[in-house]
Amino acid sequence: MSRRGRFIVIEGLDGAGTTTQSHRLTDWLRGQGRRVHLTAEPSPGPVGALARQVLSRRVVGKPGDFDALALALLFAADRLDHVATEIAPKLAEGIDVVSDRYALSSLAYQGLTVHESGRLPGRPDRSAALGWVEEINRFAPAPDLTLFLEIAPARALRRRRSASLDPEIFEVSAFQRKVAGWYGLALERVKAAGQGVVVLDGEQSVDAVFAAVVEQIRAAR
């Protein structure tokens, strides 16, 4: 039987460099003789396609046009489909999986939007909103290692805007500052749950960040 592959996730704000580092890590692992599969969330599957349409405003015009709870459930449904059809089978074959984003993104982005929507019963605090997002994602297996690229929201947004002429619904300066705070809350929760999470300085050059990524991968062996 093949030895199970490693599930590695790169996380961070939009513009933190998660896509760049995910591709570089995939290439590096292959150079080390590993079999590797690169993926991302929202996934390329049918549910992920709808999530991408929402983010790109092809379904809605602004964040408030799509119910916050419905969007959180949509991301959770995509994640379960992603795991069942792509991630878990690859891992079972002994193939490493590198994912650009995973459940931590939902804790930050959907935790915030659900909290601000007022759609949960009563007057829930931030912990309750995070708990609800955790609950709908409870069947999504934890990664073996999550690397979070920490970067100032303003810098991340500048990077994102310089790379794309079509911003997504969450690419707003004030919103990204809030998301950064919610990522902090989400990181505390997953660390407390015993998940392997490492915060890296995403403000450095691409090469310096990648060197730090490789160092953590080697240390996790």
CA distances to 14, 60, 195, 214 from 167, rounded to whole Å, are 10, 13, 32, 30
Give this prediction's pTM: 0.90
pLDDT attached to residue 162:
66
Give the pLDDT of residue 1.
43
60-78: string of b/e by CB count within 10 Å (b at 16+)? beebeebebbebbebbbbb
100 bridge partner residues: 10, 40
Closest CA to 87 of 47, 39, 49, 46: 39
- Tokens 């599969």 locate to 37
CATH topology of domain 7-219: Rossmann fold (3.40.50)
What does residue 144 show for φ and ψ, rounded to 5 degrees? -70, -30
* Domain boundaries along the sequence of the chain: 7-219
* Beta-carbon contacts of residue 128 (< 8 Å; ≥ 6 apart): 120
pLDDT in single tens digits along all 221 residues of the chain: 458 999 999 999 988 999 999 999 999 999 999 999 999 999 999 999 999 988 876 655 554 578 999 999 999 999 999 999 999 999 999 999 999 999 999 999 999 999 998 888 876 789 999 999 999 999 999 999 999 999 998 887 777 666 654 555 455 578 888 999 999 999 999 999 999 999 999 999 999 999 999 999 999 87
Residue 2, both tokens: 């093949």
Which pLDDT score, from 0 to 100, does residue 216 have? 97
pLDDT of residue 146: 98
Return the pLDDT at 168. 53
